[in-house]
Each structure stands twice: as C-alpha cells, then as structure tokens.
Homo-oligomer: A and B are copies of this chain.
C-alpha cells in the first residue's frame, strides 16, 4: 500500500521515524509532518497565514516534508499538493503519550487521522502510552505493521482506527482488544498562582480520574496491558436523542 504518515509531535520525533523505517519493509511510505511539536492542537487549521513545506530525509520514506502547519494542515497539503499519488492508508503517529477516551477530541494525532477520513482515506491514529522523550518505538511500529496486515482487507474510507499501545515490555502485552471510547475525567484541573507583582494567573493541569473505568473500554484495555483498538467515525450526531426529541412541538 501507499501509506502517508503524519503526527503532532513533529517530524523529528522518534515515533514517526521508527514507524517509517518499520512500515517501509512492506509498504511505500510518504511522510508529511509539522516542523515542531503541535500537541493538543486538535483539528486546528491554519487559515490566516501561509504555510511552508520543506523536503527532508526520513529513513524508509519515498518522500518526506516538514511543514509550518498543524497535523490537519499537513494531511490537506500532502493529499492535495505534495504527494505524487493518493495514499491507500494514512497513519498518524506514533504519538508520545496516550490518546484515550474523550481526550481523542483534543488530540492532534487523532485529528490528523480524521482529516484523512474526511478526504476518503482509511486512517489509523497510533499512540504509545509512554511519555519518555527518548523512547525507541521499533516494537510499537512492529505491532502497528501487524495490525495493518490484519485489518487491511476491512479498511473503509470513513472509519478511523484509534490505537493505543500500553507502556510495558513486549512480552507483557496481552494482545489487541477492540473496545469503545470512554469519557475521561480529570482531577485537580486548575492551579491558581500569583505572579511577582501579586497578580493572579492560572495553570491548567490534570491527572486522569479513571476510577470508574470498570467497563470494557479503551482505558480499561490499556490498564490490563492490551493494545486498544477503537473504530471512530466523524459523525458526532447523537442518534438516540435525535429520535427521542423529535416529538417536541418546536420541531
């Protein structure tokens, strides 16, 4: 397959380089990624200023560009302008840190994959729960290749797979688990501080509160050392409410 790789950690991250190297053993790889870290930018688009793209070398890739944009910008630029052909698959990652539960809505990694889906390209977002900056992602990339081989035949344009790899050694990983998303809450969200002049400022900060995660979800799968795989769709419509509310006199 022709595979486009992007991410939100930036083109110099280990995650994107290890993924390109491993996937290139079986596939034709192109890489288009931000020139610096763009975490938590979600689906941000750069509309108010021009974008730059510079060709760079990435081991295993047939073509690689760093851009001044977000992951969403990168995918649009790649598909409409930079790549010589339309990719069969887009992979966003491997991200440094988890993208689980409702956090996927903030995630630049998942936004990159969803952008692919908008353009009719089957897409996968891959994250590793480990947050260490110097991590080697070769093993995670092999797991990704294994998953790609297994789901290649059922890939569909509008379905995104959100994949999280637990932070443990290879032999402890129990396998792949197909699971739904779960609402993720945070504890201790904001710290109020005083600056040197005595003026208040605020720092957003949170530790995930997964105490209620006893259901079979992406969060519980990761806790039990499974690779979580969740199919996502762009359609946020709440079909249950749609049906229930139809009877209101205002509609």
Contacts and interface: CB of A to CB of B under 8 A. Distances in A.
Indicate how many identical chains form the complex. Answer: 2
Given A118-B102, A189-B76, A238-B233, A202 B52 contact: yes
Nearest to A150: B250
A44 B108 CA distance: 9
Contacts of A160: 238
A242 B189 contact: no
A207 interface: no
Contact of A178 (B105, B159, B246): B246
Contacts of A44: 40-42, 44, 106
Nearest to A230: B237
Interface of A: 40-47, 50-53, 72-73, 76-77, 80-81, 102, 104-106, 111, 114, 118, 146-147, 150-151, 154, 156, 158-160, 175-178, 180-181, 183, 185, 189-190, 192-193, 199-205, 229-242, 244-246, 248-251
B40 A236 contact: no
A113 B45 CA distance: 19
Contacts of A47: 40, 204-205
Contact of A238 (B175, B176, B183, B231): B231
Contact of A150 (B185, B231, B248): B248
A234 B51 contact: no
A151 B245 CA distance: 9
B180 A235 contact: yes
Contact of A203 (B50, B193, B203): B50
Contact of A236 (B80, B104, B242, B244): B104
B202 A242 contact: no
29 contacts: A41-B44, A42-B44, A43-B43, A47-B204, A50-B202, A51-B201, A51-B204, A52-B199, A52-B200, A52-B201, A53-B202, A76-B204, A77-B190, A147-B250, A150-B250, A154-B244, A156-B241, A175-B250, A176-B250, A177-B251, A180-B235, A180-B242, A229-B251, A231-B237, A231-B238, A231-B242, A232-B236, A233-B238, A233-B240
